[in-house]
């Protein structure tokens, strides 16, 4: 290999688009209100814009980024199995943690549709767009790569929740990887968010 070849810098433009745009979208979500409704902002930023990039810039199929049902039998099995496993853990952590209760106890109004609308795009950008987009270049390492911005996006939430998200993000990513779909980690995350709010509100004792 010549010196010129060794020193050359060749970047994958799709990886650059994924990284730059996902970072900018997260920043815009944090600093700006595009509409009167946060869930609509996140649907635009995390679902519509990434899908538009897939279709019109990457010239690819949304299904290649997890926007499909994938292996629905395995997906449903993992979804219901995860719910059964996670529910008692969530109850224990939320009920026994004052920070979690203070943060979530006033968010009961509108459940479960508020969490559905809020998390649909949120899950697609991490467990669909980023996971499968990075996987084209980095393979299974994409499971960790998508978990990092997911964890950082939780800064400001209760400490115990934020500390867990690097592992939770990997686990959600694994479900998407196995099923080839973002739908099932979305369903699990939807349950997690809704159940946490219900427990924090004191309905379950």
As a whole number of angstroms, the distance between CA 185 and CA 205 comes to 27
Confidence (pTM): 0.93
Predicted confidence at residue 1, as pLDDT, reads: 44
Average pLDDT, the chain: 94
- Mean pLDDT for the stretch of residues 160-185: 97
As a whole number of angstroms, the distance between CA 127 and CA 83 comes to 18
As a whole number of angstroms, the distance between CA 149 and CA 130 comes to 10
| Per-residue tokens: 204 | 């379950």
Find where tokens 């979500």 sit.
29
As a whole number of angstroms, the distance between CA 171 and CA 189 comes to 11
pLDDT single digits (tens) 5-48: 556 788 999 999 999 999 999 999 999 999 999 999 999 999 99
pLDDT single digits (tens) 99-116: 999 999 889 999 999 999
């Amino acid at each position: 290999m010549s010196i010129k070849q060794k020193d050359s810098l060749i970047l994958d433009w799709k990886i650059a688009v994924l990284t730059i745009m996902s970072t900018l979208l997260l920043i815009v979500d944090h600093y700006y209100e595009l509409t009167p409704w946060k869930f609509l902002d996140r649907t635009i930023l995390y679902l519509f814009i990434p899908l538009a990039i897939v279709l019109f810039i990457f010239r690819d199929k949304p299904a290649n980024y997890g926007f499909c049902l994938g292996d629905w039998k395995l997906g449903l099995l993992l979804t219901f199995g995860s719910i059964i496993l996670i529910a008692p853990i969530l109850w224990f952590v939320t009920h026994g943690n004052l920070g979690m209760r203070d943060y979530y106890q006033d968010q009961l109004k509108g459940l479960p549709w508020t969490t559905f609308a809020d998390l649909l795009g949120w899950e697609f950008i991490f467990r669909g767009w980023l996971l499968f987009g990075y996987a084209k270049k980095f393979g299974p390492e994409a499971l960790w790569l998508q978990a990092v911005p997911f964890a950082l996006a939780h800064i400001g939430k209760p400490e115990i929740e934020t500390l867990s998200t690097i592992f939770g993000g990997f686990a959600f990513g694994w479900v998407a990887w196995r099923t080839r779909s973002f739908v099932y980690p979305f369903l699990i995350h939807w349950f997690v968010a809704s159940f946490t709010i219900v427990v924090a509100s004191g309905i379950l004792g």
